[in-house]
Chain A
């Protein structure tokens, strides 16, 4: 492969990455907007809320496919770093959710929040990606 096509491939990957990050932020931003909107009564009707939730869910599905497309555009080492990070974050979240559930059943934890698990998953994923990038620098 010559330098021109390699640089085109890099540009495509960069563009896919930017679109993925932008759409993820839009999805999260919208999720927060809907959550706060429901809490503070910003919406006029239930229909409006339902439409916004449906739109946000569709956007979330689009983000999943964008991430898959981004993974496909990566080379094998970058993909390995991502898969290791996904495996680590999924495993940690799985164990944490069971522990959390047991603690809730035992009434040691009273106000269980799903968002705590999402935070754990995000933190583990990001930490693992950074670890992979440093390891295979």
Chain B
């Protein structure tokens, strides 16, 4: 079955890749202005009208690239967190990393922004940086608080859940002081809206995402061994504490990037690795690529559905993910032993 599993991996990758392409085409042709698949292809080949080109290349394509990046990043982040904690319920949302990032954003909106004018040009660039720093600070806080002669998995999760609750309370306290307009903006951000769908953001975030993902893939085998527990990891010559800190930093940074670009998309880091594990098993060389494709598909579809289902009202992608994944999650919990 090693061969079998390799084959399964190849098939999964192929199918998921096809599915991702299909979602992208769907996302490209749906919207306030519908562009038929045939026209999409013609435009991609350079035969579209100026208006079609504008809509496809300046509005919809960056949104898709961003959705793929956020989805894949969150999925990898969740896979890593689940691997090092040996707990399939760990994900950046549950550990409070998304909340930390969200709090940074709300603080920014509350204290540094003029209420009426909305986000200034400088503001649009500083906002993701705030979100990213918020995630990193929260990650550091979780590490420091769960440190007791090393980092123990269950302690890490409990501290994370505590921090999540604390930060969420903070966010609400701050939000209540906001002007109605800003309140709505903060709310939409927090529920996971892919707002940064312009090429400038994509170019700012994409290099980091690529570097971190490659780094995560290089650490796949270390994750496999950490998954056997810290004693077994030491027995096999892996310096588990050091590796755990490195992997935690990668996971937090990827989540931070995701939140910076798309707000806190809950459950994604949990669901995507879960489905991937059912497809190709727990070996991270296979799991990480499949999970990241899975995550990308989920966000692209969620974004498309969110933009079109109740058109002209747009639902944040994060809410769509939550609506779809909560039932899946509950079924999973009921089925598990």
Q: Indicate whether A and B interact.
A: no
**B positions within 8 Å CB-CB of A:** none
